[in-house]
Structure 1
Amino acid sequence: MKRLRTHLIGIEQGDVPIFADFENGGEMWTGHGARERRIPVVFTEPFLDVPAVHVGLSLSDIDSGPHQRIEILSEKVTRAGFDLVFRTWGDSRVARVRMNWTAIGELANDDDWEIR
C-alpha cells in the first residue's frame, strides 16, 4: 500500500490518442511489424515521490475477428512522468486506440525543508 504523508495530494489526468493505423494501413491494423506503441507523458509538475499511475482504454476500435489480444500499462514511472504502453500480438488487428490515465501522489509543500 502506498501511504501519503501529507495533506498535499496531487491528482493529474489525461486522455491520449495512441494511434489510428486503419487510415494508412499501419502495422497495428495489418498485423505485421512493430506491435507496440509507447507514448511519453510528462506531468505538469513533478510529484514529491513516484506517484501511483492507473491507465485505461477510452477508445478501442478492434477488428471483430476471433482474437482481440491487448495489453495496456504504465512503465518507467518517475516523479516527472511515465510511458503509456499499448501492445497487441498474433493475428489481432487494431484500428485505433486512445488511452486515459490518472496519477495520484504527494506534492511538495512550501513549508517543507531539508537539513543537509
Structure 2
Amino acid sequence: MAQYFQGNFGIDQGEVTPFSDFENNGPMWVGTGTREVRTRIPFEVAFALPPIVHVSVTMWDVAAEAATRLDVGAEEIDQKGFTLRVRTWSDSRIARVRVAWLAFGACRDDEMWEVG
C-alpha cells in the first residue's frame, strides 16, 4: 500500500485479491446465480472526510466456456476504509480477481482539532 499526503490532501492506494475460488472450489468458481464477495479495505491513515475511491480490475482469471460477467465497486466508504464488492451472476465462473484501488481526499493535519 502506498500513501502520499501534502497539506490537507491525501492519497492512499493498494491492490487486493479478494478471492481465489478455483483453489478450494468456492462459489465464484463452481456456483451459479448471483454471487458476491465483500472485503473491508482499511486505509493506512484515516482521512478527515470520506474520500473518493476508484477501483479497477487489474487481473481476472475466468473459465473460457462460460460468459464473463463481473461487477466491482467501492461501498460503505468512510474515513477509515471502504468495502470492496465483487459480484458475478448466471453461469459465469470466476477463478480469481485482483483489484487495484485509489483513495484521495481531505486528510487530517496538525492544525485540525475537534471540539467535544
TM range, normalised to the smaller chain?
0.7 to 0.9
C-alpha separation between the residues in 2 aligned to 1:66 and 1:21? 16
Identity rate, percent: 41
Match of residue 12 from structure 1: 12
Match of residue 59 from structure 2: 59
CA contact (8 A) 1:14 1:100 kept: yes
CA contact (8 A) 1:28 1:34 kept: no
Offset at 1:41?
A: 0.8
C-alpha separation between the residues in 1 aligned to 2:89 and 2:29? 11
TM-score normalised by length of structure 2 = 0.86
TM-score normalised by length of structure 1 = 0.86
CA contact (8 A) 2:45 2:80 kept: yes
What is the number of residues matched between the two proteins?
111
C-alpha separation between the residues in 1 aligned to 2:103 and 2:10? 8
- Structure 2 alignment gaps of length 5 or more: 1-5
What pairs with 1:31-70 in structure 2 (closer than 5 Å)? Answer: 31-32=31-32, 35-70=35-70
Q: Name the structure where strand makes up a greater proportion of residues.
A: 2
Root-mean-square deviation (Å)? 1.9
The one-letter code matched in structure 1 to 2:47 is F
What pairs with 1:1-116 in structure 2 (closer than 5 Å)? Answer: 7-32=7-32, 35-113=35-113
Offset at 1:94?
A: 0.5
- Structure 1 alignment gaps of length 5 or more: 1-5
